[in-house]
Amino acid sequence: SQKIEQNSEALNIQEGKTATLTCNYTNYSPAYLQWYRQDPGRGPVFLLLIRENEKEKRKERLKVTFDTTLKQSLFHITASQPADSATYLCALVMDSNYQLIWGAGTKLIIKP
């Protein structure tokens, strides 16, 4: 069956450390993978997109990797800050019908 999984438990990280979030999928062949941030009571906000032929993408303190062999994407926040605390969602974009398939999200808590 098709699945997309993110760490279901909250991730607690000390301020200043690197936070790493995981997105695993099975039985999908996405053309793209997106990462979003969602704060309580608000809609998700787009952070980064990575294409299937890209291994890594960076934006300021954020880095995303995409391994189509392992069917996994890793999302890193370096020098983490309490303001980075939020839920982070990954979404696969299918090339066939443009539909996004969403993970359930991982809650990240950065402790001062």
Partner 1 sequence: KAGVTQTPRYLIKTRGQQVTLSCSPISGHRSVSWYQQTPGQGLQFLFEYFSETQRNKGNFPGRFSGRQFSNSRSEMNVSTLELGDSALYLCASSGRGPRGNEQFFGPGTRLTVL
Closer CB to partner 1, 10 or 79, in the complex = 10
Closer CB to partner 1, 42 or 60, in the complex = 42
Contact indicator for 104, 22 with CB cutoff of 8 Å: no
Task: Tell me how far, at minimum, the Cβ of 106 lies from partner 1, in Å.
Answer: 11
Q: In what order do the strands lie in the sheet with 19-26?
A: 3-6, 19-26, 72-77, 62-67, 56-59
Rounded Cα distance between 46 and 106, Å, is: 15
Closer CB to partner 1, 34 or 80, in the complex = 34
Rounded Cα distance between 98 and 112, Å, is: 40
Closer CB to partner 1, 19 or 33, in the complex = 33
Binding site for partner 1 (CB under 8 A): 31-32, 34, 36, 41-46, 49, 51, 89, 91, 93, 95, 97-105
Could you give the count of Cα atoms lying within 13 Å of 95 in the half-sphere of its Cβ? 7
Rounded Cα distance between 21 and 6, Å, is: 8
Task: Tell me how far, at minimum, the Cβ of 6 lies from partner 1, in Å.
Answer: 9
Task: Tell me how far, at minimum, the Cβ of 16 lies from partner 1, in Å.
Answer: 29
Task: Tell me how far, at minimum, the Cβ of 105 lies from partner 1, in Å.
Answer: 6
